[in-house]
A and B are shown apart, each in its own frame.
Chain A
Amino acid sequence: MTGESSKDERQPLLSDQERARIREEMQYALVVMHESRPPDKPKSLIDKLLAYLSNGFVLLIVGALISSVMVPQFQRAYDDRKQQLNLMHECFGEFLLYSNSIWQEYYTILPLTQELEIDKPVYNEYLAKIAQVKLKRYDAFAKVQALAVVFRQNSQQKSPVESALKTYAIKLNTASAAVDRWLTRLYCTPVNREESPCETFDPSFDAFGEFEKIKELVIKTGNEESENVATLMVQQINYFNKGGTHAFK
């Protein structure tokens, strides 16, 4: 009895035919599911790159590259620019000293306008005073000239600042030469002396009238001409400071 009942339990509940049918239905359902799913989109280049970069090792390499190559490069470029800007400022400062020297010369000889003539000790005294002013100017000019190279766009071509500086220097030298000539003529031209201490002199020299001309020249050079160059320099510095190149026009 017991042997019969266990034999029945081992018998399949479904017939083979049913099993085959169920199997076919399942297969059909799988095919339908697969067919009904939307097709996978192809990955874009960015997606691929991001996927690639999200890799830890790749991230490590990229980070190392940035910190060892690009950061120093950017830092160097920044430092260079800062240095150039500092040199531009220094050039401007020296130019102000340089341009101011003509006023110093003018004011040095001013007391002599009240003299009709001067003797040798006075001439030598003023000559020494003017020589000091001139030496300081030459020093400032040498610095300005050297520093003005920083305004160049390339090393070969002179910048507008350098050209303006050269034109200005010629005008300033003209004014300075007029001061020098005036002092010499005041010394050489006798008024109350019997004769001139110099080998030759200009009897037509009018000390006060000539000083008035020098004043006009100094005022023009010291004001208008200086302002033109200073304005150009400041514009260049400003332009460069805002991220522009030297090629300001």
Chain B
Amino acid sequence: MRSSKVSIVAVAFVLVSVSTAFPNGINPPRPSGASAVTTVCKDEQNNVKEEIYRTQIKYGNKRTNKIESRIGATAEQLPLSGIKSITLGESAAHSDGFVKAALVRSDDQEEKSVLVKVKRGDRKLRLSGFRRDGVAVTIDLMTCKSIEFFPGTAGPKDSGPPPMKH
């Protein structure tokens, strides 16, 4: 019992040990939902329909940063920042609000067949965010054939938006 306490203290010491004598600031955690995601909505011809910065999922007046998926009986709330792409396999949602889709996670390059929720009750899930110029944009999830997700706010071209004028 005592040795475990000692080892915990030792591990804690290693974690906080530093090699500089200078003031080194504080390291606060990245808050939940702080990771912005840029999405690219593509149509059936693989043309870019919309590029949305700071994407969130919106239904009614509510917002979330997660997409609900299901494989068999296992349901998951996947954060947008954890998804690489979703390709919808059906043009209409089932009665439970799910559609068949191919999903690739950010940490796993393998494409998996899943069910993705695109409707909550009678409310359609929408991608909500801003265009590069700052104009607010909202688009139904189902109008995209495929959606690519990019962590951060650089977007697919990595060009970044125009600088803010102040």
Q: Which residues of A contact B (CB under 8 A)?
A: 103, 106-107, 110, 113-116, 184-185, 188-192, 194-196, 198-209, 215, 218-219, 222-224
Contact = CB atoms under 8 A, between A and B. Distances in A.
Which one of A106, A185, A206, A218 has the highest number of Cβ atoms from chain B below 10 Å of its Cβ? A206
A196 B134 contact: yes
Contacts of B53: 203-204
A203 B54 contact: yes
B63 A192 contact: yes
Contacts of A224: 22
A208 B81 CA distance: 15
B2 interface: no
Nearest to B24: A219
B31 interface: yes
Contacts, number: 81
A195 B131 CA distance: 12
B166 A203 contact: no
Interface string B21-35: 011111011110111
B22 A223 contact: yes
Q: Which range holds the interface residue count of chain B? A: 20 to 34
Given A103-B23, A114-B31, A194-B136, A204 B166 contact: no
B67 interface: no
B66 interface: no
A22 to B, nearest CB: 106
Contact of B31 (A115, A215, A222, A223): A115
Nearest to B52: A203
Interface string B110-145: 000000000000000000011110101000000000
A218 B25 contact: yes
16 contacts: A110-B26, A114-B31, A195-B136, A196-B134, A199-B165, A202-B134, A203-B54, A203-B131, A204-B53, A204-B132, A204-B154, A205-B153, A206-B35, A208-B30, A208-B34, A219-B25
B164 interface: yes
B163 interface: yes
B156 interface: no
B142 to A, nearest CB: 22
A38 to B, nearest CB: 79
B34 A116 contact: yes
A189 B82 CA distance: 23
Given A103-B23, A219-B22, A219-B25, A202 B163 contact: yes
B36 interface: yes
A188 B161 CA distance: 15
